[in-house]
């Protein structure tokens, strides 16, 4: 209880969770400051009349600053559909990186090694770009990242163990799905009233390089791999399932 020569002020309620904030009460021209109370959860009795506690100018400034920061953060977030695109592209490029890592682990010292290394280097650049974009645009990565990491390596190494042509068949199957996926995204982005041209440029460039990988696989005899049709159909299906999951999870 606090008293002065003119006013009697009693604090009859304080919250259980006390914060180090300041709130103040204008009382007949005087300013009484209460420390350690939450503005909306405490009351005062002044001259027998119940008056609300108002935020001090310092607290109000801090609250306005916090709200502005939250608005700035929100404004940097990508729209939902763009979020899905970035999330799935990040996951896809991570998977492609790991596929070529698996192929290199098996075929790196063979005559196919330099070609696989070239394609792997491009996939590393793709992955690094989407790592940057996903951070800049504040997009949550898919929770499946650890699984795609392992699955990609196993797929790459497993097909490589069947021989260079099977490895190229894997490349053809994966790149077929990715090129179609990127083309779908480009059509959607182009149809927007205000297209995200920066993202479109990245996707367009990567789409062309993925198409190059696809064509290289065919040139290297992918269609001569054992059970080519079955192998590529299974891989394509797996890629499409991974895309669908990565969009939302």
Which residue, among 187, 188, 218, 181, has the nearest Cα to 95 in the 3D structure? 181
User: Was 83 annotated as part of a binding site?
Assistant: no
- Considering the four listed CATH numbers 1.10.3470, 1.20.1260, 2.60.120, 1.10.287, the one that applies to the domain covering 78-248 is 1.20.1260
pLDDT, residue 248, reads: 85
Lowest mean pLDDT among 3-12, 156-165, 181-190: 3-12
User: Was 213 annotated as part of a binding site?
Assistant: yes
- What are 74-93's pLDDT values in tens digits? 335 668 899 999 999 999 99
pLDDT confidence tier of residue 204, bands split at 50, 70 and 90: very high
User: Was 209 annotated as part of a binding site?
Assistant: no
More confident residue, 107 or 248: 107
Measured from the Cβ of residue 226, the count of other Cβ atoms closer than 10 Å reads 11
User: Was 192 annotated as part of a binding site?
Assistant: no
State how far the Cα of 179 lies from the Cα of 164, in Å rounded to an integer.
Answer: 22
pLDDT, residue 77, reads: 60
168 within 8 A of 159, measured Cβ to Cβ: no
Lowest mean pLDDT among 1-10, 142-151, 220-229: 1-10
Domain ranges of the chain: 2-73, 78-248
- What are 23-66's pLDDT values in tens digits? 443 433 444 444 444 444 434 444 444 444 444 445 445 445 44
User: Was 175 annotated as part of a binding site?
Assistant: yes
| Cross-sheet strand order for the sheet of 22-27 | 30-35, 22-27, 54-55
């Amino acid at each position: 209880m606090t008293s002065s020569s003119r006013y009697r002020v009693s604090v009859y309620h304080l919250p259980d969770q006390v914060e180090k904030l300041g709130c103040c009460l204008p009382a007949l021209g005087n300013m009484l400051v209460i420390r350690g109370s939450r503005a909306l959860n405490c009351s005062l009795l002044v001259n027998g009349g119940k008056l609300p506690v108002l935020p001090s100018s310092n607290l109000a400034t801090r609250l306005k600053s916090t709200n502005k920061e939250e608005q700035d953060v929100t404004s940097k977030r990508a729209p939902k559909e763009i979020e899905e695109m970035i999330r799935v592209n990040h996951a896809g490029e991570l998977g492609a990186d790991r596929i070529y890592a698996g192929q290199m682990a098996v075929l790196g010292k063979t005559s196919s090694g330099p070609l696989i290394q070239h394609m792997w280097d491009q996939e590393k650049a793709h992955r690094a770009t989407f790592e940057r974009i996903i951070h800049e645009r504040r997009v949550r990565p898919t929770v499946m990242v650890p699984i795609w990491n392992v699955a990609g390596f196993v797929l790459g190494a497993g097909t490589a163990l069947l021989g260079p042509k099977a490895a190229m068949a894997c490349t053809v199957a994966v790149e077929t799905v990715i090129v179609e996926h990127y083309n779908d995204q480009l059509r959607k982005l182009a149809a927007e009233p205000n297209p995200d041209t920066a993202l479109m440029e990245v996707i367009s460039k990567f789409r062309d390089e993925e198409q190059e990988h696809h064509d290289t696989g065919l040139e290297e005899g992918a269609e001569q791999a054992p059970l080519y049709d079955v192998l590529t159909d299974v891989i394509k299906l797996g890629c499409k399932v991974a895309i669908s999951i990565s969009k939302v999870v």
